[in-house]
Amino acid sequence: MKQGVLIALASVCAIGTARAQMPAAAATKPAPALPVLKIAVSEDDDYQTLPWSGQPGEYQESYCNGNGDVYVVRGGSGLVALSAKGVIPFLADKITDVPHPRTTSLGMNPSLSASGISFLATGTDDSKVETRNWTDDQGQKHVDHDLSTAILHYLVRFDADGTYRAAIKLDLPFLVYKFATFDSGAVIAQGMEKEKIPRIALLNASAEFMRYLDLPKDISTAGSTSPDDVKCNGCTADMNSVVFNTYFTPWRNEILLKREFGNGLRIYEIQERGQVRLTKVNVPEGYDIGPMVPSDRNWLVRFNKPDAGGVRPRAFDSLLEIDPQNGKPLREYHLKPPATVPETILSCFFDGEFWGIRQNQKEGRIEVVRGAAAP
């Protein structure tokens, strides 16, 4: 019996020795760091400046689409373009065909295209306002106004030179949250049906409904991924929040829609006739992805990530370049100090140059800046 035990122990020892002598499995190598380029920008003296009385840490929204102008949000009143020809206003006080226009939605997420500048706006039909008079326990009389059936929704349009064109009343089977305009004037819109079903639709140049789009594996498609798999700025969100926090970005002759899912980033290329192409992006670990930046070359998305000390900055002051063909991250871009966010905001990349604005607190003004990147 002892002999059998000794043989068994010897066998176990031999197996253990053999395992110890086997080469260790190759450890998974971390992905190589992406090349980093520094962006150096400077003020362009050919552009007029805007007065600015902001505070450190404030973020001024700005846009551009490669036409040489940079558009700056002016609160809830609209946009102004900083142009080589001067300052061009696109403001709510020019809207004359909307009853009691609400300007809070103007200037937020505008659509820039060759056909002009467009916003979403609301008005109020006085004839549909329901009034209720009542008296409280202290005998005070009150009047309540119910506007739920009186709110009208519009798409308002300006020409590129700032001339107000007209407002188009939206009569659609869903409420539009976000939209973008093709150069022809046709529209792609995202919103919610009354049943809280997210939709993406094509509209013609008169903002009339044409048809819904089926985006592969998108929440706007029947039987698609649940909202629990969708992230909004790093957090799980419900359908309403996901739709509200998703933006369109013009790219060449198409419109891009970016969605963040639990398993990565998806970018949909949408053509004017409704054809859709899906590209999955393998976001490097630790990157927090923000909005896209208009570009005439590869895709650019804002991001931040922890620094060497593990601190994650609040501002999305860096850019990640992505290959549109395969979704592969190519390189990072960082603003060259001291021109850092929130003082400097990059707005777009066209013709080999980065464009943006600088919030010059010392001088109390907003300046147009432009520049290039180098290793």
Q: What is the pLDDT of residues 321-343, one digit of tens each?
A: 999 999 999 999 998 876 565 68
Closest C-alpha to 334, from 306, 304, 368: 304
For the beta carbon of residue 308, count every other beta carbon within 10 angstroms.
5
Going by pLDDT thresholds of 50, 70 and 90, the confidence category of residue 179 is very high
User: Domain for residue 88, yes or no?
Assistant: no
User: CA 189, CA 182: separation in Å to the nearest integer?
Assistant: 11
User: Domain for residue 2, yes or no?
Assistant: no
In the numeric block, the tokens 């997210």 are attached to: 198
User: Domain for residue 102, yes or no?
Assistant: no
**Residue 132 CB-half CA count within 13 A:** 7
| Chain segment 253-292, per-residue pLDDT in tens | 999 999 886 657 899 999 999 999 999 998 888 888 889 9
User: Domain for residue 59, yes or no?
Assistant: yes
Among the residues of the chain, which ranges form H helices?
A: 2-21, 239-244
| Chain segment 88-104, per-residue pLDDT in tens | 999 888 999 999 887 66
User: CA 313, CA 179: separation in Å to the nearest integer?
Assistant: 30
User: Domain for residue 56, yes or no?
Assistant: yes
User: Domain for residue 55, yes or no?
Assistant: yes
User: CA 253, CA 270: separation in Å to the nearest integer?
Assistant: 9
CB within 8 A of 356, min separation 6: which ones? 41, 62, 70, 344, 345, 346, 347, 348, 368, 369, 370
User: CA 94, CA 108: separation in Å to the nearest integer?
Assistant: 17
pTM here is 0.83
CB within 8 A of 242, min separation 6: which ones? 198, 219, 227, 230, 232, 259
The pLDDT of residue 164 is above 60: yes
Q: How many helices (H) and strands (E) does the chain have?
A: 2, 29
Judge residue 255's burial from the number of C-beta atoms within 10 Å of its C-beta, 0-12 exposed, 13-18 middle, 19 or more buried.
Answer: buried
Q: How many domains does the chain have?
A: 1
User: Domain for residue 108, yes or no?
Assistant: no
Over its C-alpha atoms, the chain yields an Rg (Å, rounded) of 27
User: Domain for residue 39, yes or no?
Assistant: yes
In three-state secondary structure terms, 241 is helix
Q: Cα-flanking dihedrals φ and ψ of residue 199, to 5°?
A: -135, 150
| Chain segment 41-76, per-residue pLDDT in tens | 999 999 999 998 877 667 788 999 999 999 998 877
User: CA 316, CA 275: separation in Å to the nearest integer?
Assistant: 31
In three-state secondary structure terms, 95 is coil
Query: Quick one: DSSP state of residue 49?
Result: -
User: CA 181, CA 204: separation in Å to the nearest integer?
Assistant: 10
β pairing state of 329-335 and 36-43: parallel
> Domain limits at 327?
32-64+294-375
